[in-house]
Amino acid sequence: METLIINKRRELPRTKRIIWDIATVLLWLGFIYLWKPVLHVFYRIITSEVPAEEIADWIFENIHSVTFENAVFMLIATPVVLFILSRLNRHQAPSEHLIYHSSDYSNYFHLDDTQLQECANSQLVTVYHDDHGHIIRLNDQIATNNE
């Protein structure tokens, strides 16, 4: 499964960061542009000194600035743009646990690779250490004491 890492932006290549920044700015400008008629009406209401009846008539005359065709176009174009952006090739930062294999761990800790594989698949593992904290051996079975 492909995961999106939103907190590792610095690991993206510089060109990809610039492209995503430009796309974000353009989408925000488009969003603000859609609110332009409403903001214009609010500004005219606040700055006008005419009676409320004339303001209501003026609002109903100017509210048609977004046509039905524009609304349908935006309704269809927005999901299409978002789908295209979601399908673009994303950079995935390497994870530490994906780089190493079990043989690398067994070589580093001087353990048997088959025993390490068995312990990785079991639910309970006992790890034995020496005085310096190095792993001596692994046991994937429950130790039973017969008293």
**Is residue 63, in this structure, part of any structural domain at all?**
yes
**One domain for residues 82 and 22:** yes
Run means of pLDDT, 10 residues per run, the chain, 147 residues: 58 84 88 80 76 75 69 82 76 60 80 81 81 80 51
Residue with tokens 């039905």: 68
Q: Helix or strand or coil: residue 90?
A: coil
pLDDT computed for residue 7 by the predictor = 61
Predicted pLDDT of residue 66: 64
pLDDT at 146: 44
Residue 29 belongs to what domain range?
9-87
Residue 106 tokens, joined: 């067994």
Task: Give pLDDT, residue 95.
Answer: 58
Instruction: Give the total number of structural domains in the chain.
Output: 2
**Is residue 106 domain-resident?**
yes
Is 3 contained in some domain? no
- The C-alpha atoms of residue 31 and residue 25 are separated, in whole angstroms, by 10
Tell me, what's the pLDDT at 63? 66
Note the pTM of the prediction, 2 decimals. Answer: 0.34
